[in-house]
Structure 1
Amino acid sequence: MAALLKILIIVLLIWQGFKLFMRFVMPFAMRKLAERLIKRAQNQAGSPFAGQARNASDYTTQQEKRSYRSSSRKEGSVQVDFVPPKKDKFTGKGSSSAGEFVEFEEIK
Structure 2
Amino acid sequence: MGRLSLRIDLPQGRIGPGKIALLEAIAREGSISAAARAQAMSYRRAWALVESIGEVLGEPGVTASPGGAGGGGAVLTAAGRKLVADYRAIERAAERVAARRLSALASRLSAG
Q: Report the structure, 1 or 2, having the larger strand content.
A: 2
Q: Could you state the TM-score of these two structures normalised by the residue count of structure 1?
A: 0.24
Q: Could you state the TM-score of these two structures normalised by the residue count of structure 2?
A: 0.23
Structure with greater Cα Rg: 1
Bigger relative contact order (CA 8 A; separation at least 6) = 2
